[in-house]
Amino acid sequence: MDGKQRNLGVWQFAVAWMLLLVGALAWQPHVAADQANGRDIYNFRCYFCHGYSGAAQTLAAEMLSPAPRDFTATAIDDLSSEQMIAAVRHGKSGTAMKPFASLLSDEEIRAVVEFVRNEFMIRGAPNTRYHTVANGWADHERFSRAFPFVKGEIPLAAEEMQLTVSQREGRTLYLTSCISCHDMARRPEVSPSWEAEAVSFPRTGFATGDFLEPPDAVSGATAFARHDIPPMMLAASEEERAGEGLFQKNCAFCHAADGTGKNWIGTFMIPHPRNLTSAAEMSGMTRDRLQQVIRDGLPGTSMPAWGGVLSDDQIRHVVAYIAKMFHRLTGE
């Protein structure tokens, strides 16, 4: 090769390199925008089951069988983009993974899938911090006593005498507030129990979507707090009383203790859980129809099938409670 040919080769290589560099620079903003869009979609629609950091360590995950996928424990070569896109678009039979084709565009589905693959499966990143001022948490450090239990640094079932006063206070704080979203504590098979209530809603100044209500002037909590208070039921039959316990234990997590679906968790579900107190949303609903929905679930929503969890009698008890406390049903 003579000098002229060598120079031509060097020049061609330099041009090719410049074109690649220009293309990369033009591509980066697009990638960043897709990543930000995917993050927003994930944080709004996916975190409740899969967790903010993709590890599926949430209270909801504890209640689902099979458990949601832990993306941090999934090798990138074991799950393709196409498989993930199909799961988001069509859901997964036999799991709580619902189809999102009616809620997300193809571009949005691809964006959230690529975000999950890059953020959790490749980088193992912690995602965006949730406890920020913008989300209503002006001073997250004030809950620091509970952090060792959130992180699993101290076993939840540690003997009382082994804990300092501050650690005992931290455990109480964890069990009464943080655990709704941070069900990540270390615990053996026998450990303290708790009620599955969404008590860790954010504080003053944060609300979403249709539920822009003023904060509680006394407690400083958002209006979600009032919807986690069960209505008082005075005179009731044995069936209605049994239904009350079943509803508050199993259904209130999404539909709220007062049946409105306006609790903290309900705001993050699209479509929102049915407002059982609304004449419009309950229009035409009969006892038989409601029993069927509870038993078999409702396609296209987050309403799962309870037929494998509750017996037919228990489902009838729940319907009796709803008919008494929230909306009178036909077909009595």
- Provide mean pLDDT across the span 170-196: 63
For position 166, what pLDDT does the model report?
93
The answer to whether the beta carbons of residues 290 and 307 sit under 8 Å apart is: no
Whole-angstrom distance, CA of residue 261 vs CA of residue 272: 7
Whole-angstrom distance, CA of residue 177 vs CA of residue 219: 14
Distances (CA, A) of 265 to 49, 84, 85, 273: 11, 25, 25, 9
Q: Is the model's pLDDT at 330 over the cut of 80?
A: no
Dihedral sign for Cα 319, 229, 45, 281, please.
positive
Alpha-helix residue ranges (DSSP H) falling in the chain? 3-45, 47-50, 59-63, 81-90, 106-116, 147-150, 165-176, 238-246, 252-255, 287-296, 312-325
pLDDT band at 292, cuts 50/70/90? Answer: very high
Instruction: Using the structure block, give the residue that is written with the tokens 């306006």.
Output: 262
For 110, the 3-state DSSP assignment is helix
pLDDT band at 66, cuts 50/70/90? Answer: confident
The token pair at 194 is 């708790």
- Selection from 85, 56, 71 nearest residue 119 by Cα: 71
| 256-269 pLDDT per residue, tens | 999 999 887 787 77
Indicate left, alpha or beta for 330 from its phi (over 0: left) and psi (-120 to 50: alpha). beta
The answer to whether the beta carbons of residues 268 and 135 sit under 8 Å apart is: no
The token pair at 106 is 């193809």
pLDDT band at 274, cuts 50/70/90? Answer: very high
Whole-angstrom distance, CA of residue 216 vs CA of residue 13: 67
The answer to whether the beta carbons of residues 205 and 212 sit under 8 Å apart is: no
Q: Is the model's pLDDT at 91 over the cut of 80?
A: yes
The full set of domain ranges for the chain reads 3-122, 132-194, 228-325
What is the CATH number that goes with domain 3-122?
Answer: 1.10.760.10
Q: Indicate the angle between helix axes 287-296 and 312-325, nearest 10 degrees.
A: 130
Please state, for a pLDDT cut of 70, what percent of the chain lies above it: 73
For position 150, what pLDDT does the model report?
81
The pTM for the full model equals 0.50
Q: Does the fold of domain 228-325 match that of domain 3-122?
A: yes
Instruction: Give the fold, CATH level 3, of 228-325.
Output: Cytochrome Bc1 Complex; Chain D, domain 2 (1.10.760)
pLDDT band at 136, cuts 50/70/90? Answer: low
